[in-house]
Amino acid sequence: MELDKILAISKKPGLYKLITQSRGGFIAESLLDQKRISVSISSNVSLLSEIAIYTLGEELPLKDVLLKIFDKEKGAETSTSPKASKDDLEAYFFSVLPDYDEDRVYPSDIKKILNWYNLLNKNELLDFKTEASSTEEEE
């Protein structure tokens, strides 16, 4: 899974795949509807590979959190809806990541992570099995 080419763009729904750079920014393709948009360099953009989740110890990369959700759900969609209540979202996230920092990870963050997981899973961008086998081959 290459999260370094997947973007979250502020004030835009869903996730985007980086296509190419342009003079004033870059071109991205929506994972929701496959429409391409031009994104200005001044836009607030986050690479999923740069996002980490606060835990009581160290920050955990988003990729590791997505892997934990993938393992829990056995590759299926999340069993808890991203639109669930605050308590349900927190209980689900606690079952995935027992040591997450409840003071710094808000229900809105959990909702976003579950939405991202489901979107990446739907677009078959969560390929942990292939990654694990290629890592084993390298060793």
Question: Pairing state of beta strands 60-61 and 52-53?
Answer: antiparallel
**51-138 CATH, one of 3.40.50.300, 1.10.10.1650, 3.40.50.1580, 3.90.1010.10:** 1.10.10.1650
Q: What confidence score (pLDDT) does residue 139 get? A: 46
Q: What confidence score (pLDDT) does residue 1 get? A: 58
Query: What is the domain partition of the chain in residue ranges?
Result: 3-48, 51-138
CA pair distance 90, 4, nearest whole angstrom: 27
Q: What confidence score (pLDDT) does residue 135 get? A: 43
Q: Which residue has the tokens 């920050």?
A: 59
Q: What confidence score (pLDDT) does residue 138 get? A: 46
Taking a C-beta distance cutoff of 8 angstroms, is the pair 67, 128 a contact? Answer: yes
Taking a C-beta distance cutoff of 8 angstroms, is the pair 40, 54 a contact? Answer: no
Taking a C-beta distance cutoff of 8 angstroms, is the pair 3, 48 a contact? Answer: yes
The residue type of 138 is E
The residue type of 13 is P
Q: What confidence score (pLDDT) does residue 126 get? A: 85
Q: Which CATH architecture has domain 3-48?
A: Roll (2.30)
Mean pLDDT for back-to-back runs of 10 residues, the chain (139 residues): 88 94 92 94 93 95 95 93 95 96 96 96 80 45
Q: What confidence score (pLDDT) does residue 23 get? A: 87
Question: 3-class secondary structure for 33-70?
Answer: CCCEEEEECCCCEEEHHHCEECECCCCEEHHHHHHHHH
